Amino acid sequence: MIQQKIFLIGLPGAGKTTLGRSLATLVSLPFYDLDKQIEKVEGLSVSEIFTSKGETYFRAKEAEVLRSLIDSADPVILSTGGGTPCFHENMDLMCITGLTVFLDPSLEIIERRLASNRNRPLLQAEPEIPLLEKLTRLKQERLSYYTRASLRITDDQITAERLIQLLP
């Protein structure tokens, strides 16, 4: 059915991992969460990497792990980190090697999903700034990368079954 790699991109809390797991199960393909793969390689959580080694190091490691997954895998479903498309020409690579899907639910939905889980490095900074404001700023900064995706999903309740119908 699916003959290529599918890269799920979007803001933290957009649903990339949840949808990715469901989609992979539905189409019997391997699923990878890029952040989890980085944690496996580094032996540290993403937050710990940001704290101890910095964002520059993390982004370089992220690009390295992304490339290794692309090089070593047949069709897979890959949930990327929210910033993955914005660094080291990762978006170009993903567009060339597979289908990119931008999950773009409303910021209010993302805010609700993240309200109880702020364990994300870029959302931990500046605790005095409201979460919705941070998400708005982050989306503005990243939108030029995200909108290069093959497919943009704005449905707040997208399911794996529905996504399959929308795939080219």
pLDDT in tens, 46-78: 989 999 999 999 999 999 999 999 998 799 999
Judged against a pLDDT cut of 80, whether residue 20 lies above it is answered with: yes
**Contact present, 7 and 16 (Cβ < 8 Å):** no
Average pLDDT (116-129) is 70
Rounded distance, CA 125 to CA 118, Å? 10
pLDDT score recorded for residue 125? 73
Q: Which residues contact 159 (CB under 8 A, 6 or more apart)?
A: 19, 22
pTM of the predicted model over 0.75: yes
Give the pLDDT confidence of 127-163 residue by residue, as tens digits: 788 889 999 999 999 999 999 999 999 999 999 999 9
Domains of the chain and any CATH numbers: 5-166 (3.40.50.300)
